[in-house]
Amino acid sequence: MDINTLFKVPKLPTGSSKRKMPDNPTPEVLKRMKLDDVSLDISSPTTALYPNTNSKNPKGHEIVEQMDGGDQQQNFAPGGDADYFAEEDSEGRFFGGGLTSEQKEILNIFEDAGTGPQNDIADELSITAIRRMLLQFERAVNKNQDQRSKYPNDPSKFIDSEADLDSTIKALLPLAQAPQLAYPELVRSGAVTLLVGLLAHENADIVIDVVEVVHELTDEDVGNEGDSEGVGEAAEESLKSLIQGLLDNTILELLVDNLPRLNEQEESDRQGVFHILGIFENIVGFNPDLSSSLFKKTTLLTWLLKRIQSKTHNENRSYAAELLSILLQDDQPNRVKLGQENGIEILLNILSQYRRRDPADADETEFMENIFDILCSALNETTNKKLFLSAEGPDLMLLMMKEKLQSRSRSIKTLDFAMSGTSGSAICEVFVEALGLKTLFSALMGKAGKKQKSNPIPIASQDTAHILGIISSLFSNIASDSPSRIRLLTKFVESNYEKVDKLLEIRDTAKSRIKVTEHEINQETEGLDETGLAELEDTLYLRRLDGGLYTLQTVDYILAWVIMEDDGIRTHALQMLDRKNQSLNDIVQTLQIFYANVDDISQSGVQDVPSQKEILHGLITALDISDVK
């Protein structure tokens, strides 16, 4: 049955000049409709009401009605209602549904389609059906290419073949439901080559169709509907072969070339851009090693940086930022290239708009967070830290910290990344010179602004970790006996050592968290021998870090510095520790665990600059001597 034809029958009235039959005729109206008053064929009730429609009852049921005041019968139902006489209660009242038999059949078709099992398509896709589908696709491609080459200046000659090509491309979408069968056949038959080749088609709508199909075929969830493990593994292998086939046909370069071609003012083009970005995410998600190729072989980085600078915010701008964040994670060449493309200054310019205002909605908030994540990833590189400093990045982050908007927490995190390691020494100096210590310690203590002095601001746990990271970097990178170092130590002395007390308070909270984590680990590893525990050593250490050990290590690292450098702080800290039956030995034990798990690498690459491991060794030695005394 042709559903398109069904939808065209019967034709509904389109103008007010046409007479309309009441939905529910009154008994008086029915009585006046006599058989000998109707000039049309009485055997076709629908024709009597709608002369232009097909009145034949598709189910062949005879509908008979006894009219009032006579013994004549006719198969009459208002509007051709298939249930007009079938649905009748005990008192003779009827409740027609208002639908003809054809209309009921249409609804039944869609109802069955909506409630059927999800794997019906996959069940119907046999290898024969797949080959037939791919053959039709190949013929459509060849026919369109042939007609376009013969009549390049006469679209009327190839418009039909283009419509057929559009249909055959969209018909490939169900192949994602059976990847283990379809994908190897796609590669073997050469359909992948044809599909990728269409990305250079003159008609942008054809390109968008191809992009949508490839996006669906490369989705990470293809084949996950399989219940057995073997089916999932087969689908993964099939996806791997398909992606390799796409890469062999230079799909990455062709997709990037199409990005400037699409006009996002048009809805279809906007969807096309979204699908292209989705393909990149799918491919990199399946093989992260390909992220470097995207920036090395294409101009995608340039397009992404331009796209995120758009003044109009929409889902594609958010997606571009998210994709850029993904491509920079754990990829050192991409981070370096970002700096070379002036990416650091571009990111700072984008973030500057959030200095005095919050994002408008949740989508823009996610966009802002992705921009901060991109910047933090980039700041893992020494060259980008220099660019960040020259672009006055520390000053912008400080301004954001002072405003106490949504960007505040992210700016603290960014400064932590920027000042970490020996390569962050210059940024630490600039931070102190820009009066950043006051803002930093106000955030640590949870102090409000001048208008809200009586209401302390609760500090988020992630903010605490990053603030401690910044203080730790300041002690590691600022030279001893320098004015900046003295100003830093003075902060711990002022207000009767309140900052030291705050550190000890954070320390107690971290130790409580570690106890809970240790209890959980002991329960889970009960019964394991030494070999089993040794295999899990790295995993368990990372879990302890997340469970409070990282915070404890950072706090004790800072305490070790202030205790070693100032006698007044040392005396106060020892008194507070003694009240809780603790001593310097507890801090030393923490630093020894820290020392055993840190790499002996100097991030600056400059000789005579001590590494983190060397600094820890010096602190442990100094505290051991102090404890003996």
User: What is residue 254's predicted lDDT score, i.e. its pLDDT?
Assistant: 95
- Name the pLDDT band for 446 (thresholds 50, 70, 90): confident
Q: What is the DSSP letter of 610?
A: P
Rounded to whole angstroms, the Cα distance separating 182 from 170 reads 15
Rounded to whole angstroms, the Cα distance separating 177 from 185 reads 14
Rounded to whole angstroms, the Cα distance separating 419 from 426 reads 8
User: What is residue 600's predicted lDDT score, i.e. its pLDDT?
Assistant: 66
Place of tokens 């302890």: 544
Element (H, E) at 470: helix 461-477
pTM over the 0.85 mark: no
Q: Reply yes or no on whether the pLDDT at 73 is more than 60.
A: no
Q: Reply yes or no on whether the pLDDT at 456 is more than 60.
A: no
Q: Reply yes or no on whether the pLDDT at 19 is more than 80.
A: no
- Average pLDDT of the residues in 169-197: 93
Q: Reply yes or no on whether the pLDDT at 541 is more than 70.
A: yes
3-state secondary structure 49-94: HCCCCCCCCCCCCCCCEECCCCCCEECCCHHHCCCCCCCECCCCCE
Q: How far is CA 163 from CA 336, 460, 582, in A?
A: 46, 57, 80
Rounded to whole angstroms, the Cα distance separating 378 from 383 reads 9
**pLDDT digit string, tens, across residues 262-284:** 999 999 999 999 999 999 999 99
User: What is residue 627's predicted lDDT score, i.e. its pLDDT?
Assistant: 55
Supply φ then ψ for residue 88, to 5 degrees: -140, 135
- Average pLDDT of the residues in 25-44: 44
Q: Is 607 helix (H, G, I), strand (E, B) or coil?
A: coil
β pairing state of 73-74 and 65-66: antiparallel
Task: Provide the H-helix boundaries in 329-424.
Answer: 332-340, 343-351, 362-378, 382-390, 393-403, 407-419
66 pairs with which residues across the strands? 73
User: What is residue 462's predicted lDDT score, i.e. its pLDDT?
Assistant: 82
Q: What is the DSSP letter of 478?
A: S
Q: How far is CA 271 from CA 52, 158, 489, in A?
A: 41, 25, 56
- Name the pLDDT band for 106 (thresholds 50, 70, 90): low
- Average pLDDT of the residues in 172-186: 91
User: What is residue 424's predicted lDDT score, i.e. its pLDDT?
Assistant: 93
User: What is residue 17's predicted lDDT score, i.e. its pLDDT?
Assistant: 40
- Residues with Cβ < 8 Å from 380, sequence gap 6 or more? 332, 335, 417
- Average pLDDT of the residues in 90-118: 55
Q: Reply yes or no on whether the pLDDT at 3 is more than 80.
A: no
- Name the pLDDT band for 166 (thresholds 50, 70, 90): very high
Is residue 367 within 8 Å of 359, Cβ to Cβ? yes
User: What is residue 611's predicted lDDT score, i.e. its pLDDT?
Assistant: 83
- Name the pLDDT band for 231 (thresholds 50, 70, 90): low
Rounded to whole angstroms, the Cα distance separating 309 from 321 reads 10
Single-letter code of the amino acid located at 414: T
Q: Reply yes or no on whether the pLDDT at 479 is more than 80.
A: yes
Which is more confidently placed, 490 or 611? 490
- Average pLDDT of the residues in 14-24: 41
Q: How far is CA 551 from CA 417, 512, 534, 587, in A?
A: 16, 12, 24, 13
Length of the chain: 629
Half-sphere exposure of 628 (CA within 13 A, CB side): 5
- The answer to which of 17-21, 215-219, 388-392, 578-582 has the lowest mean pLDDT is 17-21
- Average pLDDT of the residues in 437-450: 81
The tokens describing 610, both together, are: 């001590």
- Name the pLDDT band for 83 (thresholds 50, 70, 90): low
Which is more confidently placed, 98 or 300? 300
User: What is residue 259's predicted lDDT score, i.e. its pLDDT?
Assistant: 95
- Average pLDDT of the residues in 337-349: 96
Is residue 178 within 8 Å of 122, Cβ to Cβ? yes
Q: How high is the mean pLDDT of the chain? A: 81
- The answer to which of 69-78, 461-470, 582-591 has the lowest mean pLDDT is 69-78
- Residues with Cβ < 8 Å from 339, sequence gap 6 or more? 378, 381, 383, 384, 387
88 pairs with which residues across the strands? 94
Q: Reply yes or no on whether the pLDDT at 52 is more than 70.
A: no
Which is more confidently placed, 410 or 80? 410
Bond prior to 333 in cis (omega within 30° of 0): no
Q: Reply yes or no on whether the pLDDT at 616 is more than 80.
A: yes
Rounded to whole angstroms, the Cα distance separating 30 from 429 reads 96
Single-letter code of the amino acid located at 522: N
Q: Would you tell me how many other CB atoms lie within 10 Å of the CB of residue 177?
A: 20
Q: What is the DSSP letter of 295?
A: H
Is residue 61 within 8 Å of 136, Cβ to Cβ? no
- Dihedral angle, C-alpha 278, 280, 284, 289, nearest 10 °: -170
User: What is residue 152's predicted lDDT score, i.e. its pLDDT?
Assistant: 83
Angle in degrees, CA 345, 255, 376, rounded to 5: 30
**Chain centroid offset of residue 309 CA:** 19
The tokens describing 148, both together, are: 């376009």
Q: Would you tell me how many other CB atoms lie within 10 Å of the CB of residue 259?
A: 20
Is residue 386 within 8 Å of 424, Cβ to Cβ? no
- Residues with Cβ < 8 Å from 193, sequence gap 6 or more? 245, 249
- Percent of the chain residues past pLDDT 90, beyond the cut: 59
- Name the pLDDT band for 460 (thresholds 50, 70, 90): low
User: What is residue 612's predicted lDDT score, i.e. its pLDDT?
Assistant: 86
Q: How far is CA 35 from CA 24, 32, 41, 164, 512, in A?
A: 20, 9, 10, 50, 93
- Dihedral angle, C-alpha 579, 585, 589, 595, nearest 10 °: 120
User: What is residue 214's predicted lDDT score, i.e. its pLDDT?
Assistant: 96
User: What is residue 312's predicted lDDT score, i.e. its pLDDT?
Assistant: 87
Q: Reply yes or no on whether the pLDDT at 65 is more than 90.
A: no
Cα four-point dihedral sign 90, 91, 97, 99: positive
